[in-house]
Amino acid sequence: MGGKSASPVAAGGAGQELGTGAEWEYASAPESRDIVSIRGEYGLFVGGEFVTPRSCEHFATVNPASEEPLASVAQAGQADVDLAVVSAREAYERSWGAMPGRERAKYLYRIARAIQERAREFAVLESLDNGKPIKESRDVDIPLAAAHFFYHAGWADKLGYAGFGPDPRPIGVAGQVIPWNFPLLMAAWKLAPALATGNTCVLKPAETTPLSALLLAEVIAEAGLPPGTVNIVTGDGRTGRDLVAHPGVNKIAFTGSTEVGKQIQRAIAGTGKRLTLELGGKAANIVFDDAPIDQAVEGIVNGIFFNQGHVCCAGSRLLAQESIADTLLDRLKARLETLRLGDPLDKNTDIGAINSREQLDKITSLAAAGEAEGGQRWSPVCPLPARGYWFPPTVFSGVSQSHRIAREEIFGPVLSVLTFRTPEEAVAKANNTPYGLSAGVWTEKGSRILSMAQQLRAGVVWANTYNRFDPASPFGGYQESGFGREGGRAGLAAYLNG
d(CA 236, CA 260): 13
Which of these is catalytic: 278, 409, 480, 486? 278
Q: Over the Cα atoms of the chain, what is R_g? A: 23
278 annotated active-site: yes
* Residues linked to residue 432 through DSSP beta bridges, in sequence order: none
HSE-up of residue 165 (Cα within 13 Å, Cβ side)? 8
Q: Of 269, 272, 279, which is closest to residue 251 (Cα–Cα)?
A: 272
Q: Is 265 exposed, middle or buried (0-12, 13-18, 19+ CB in 10 A)?
A: middle
Contact 92, 173 (CB under 8 A): yes
Q: Would you call 239 helix, strand, or coil by DSSP?
A: helix
Q: Nearest-CA neighbor of 92 among 273, 231, 222, 189?
A: 231
Q: How far is CA 279 from CA 66, 221, 261, 262, 349, in A?
A: 29, 31, 7, 9, 28
Q: How far, in Å, are 280, 313, 467 from residue 448 at the CA level? A: 27, 22, 20
279, 311 contact by CB (below 8 A): no
Quickly count: other Cβ atoms within 10 Å of residue 17's Cβ: 8
Q: Which of 126, 207, 312, 486 is an active site residue?
A: 312
Cα distance between residue 494 and residue 492, in whole Å:
5
Rounded to the nearest 5 degrees, what angle is found at the Cα of 223, between the Cα atoms of 220 and 225? 70
Contact 129, 122 (CB under 8 A): no
Strands 49-51 and 44-46: antiparallel
CA distance 125 to 112: 18
- What is the distance between the alpha carbons of residues 425 and 58, in angstroms, rounded to a whole number? 52
Cα 468 to Cα 285: distance, rounded to the nearest angstrom: 14
For 358, the enclosing helix (H) or strand (E) is helix 357-372
**358 contact partners, CB below 8 Å, separation of at least 6:** none
Tell me which amino acid residue 438 is. Answer: S
Helix residue spans in 57-117 (DSSP H): 78-91, 101-117
312 a catalytic residue = yes
Annotated catalytic sites, by residue? 278, 312
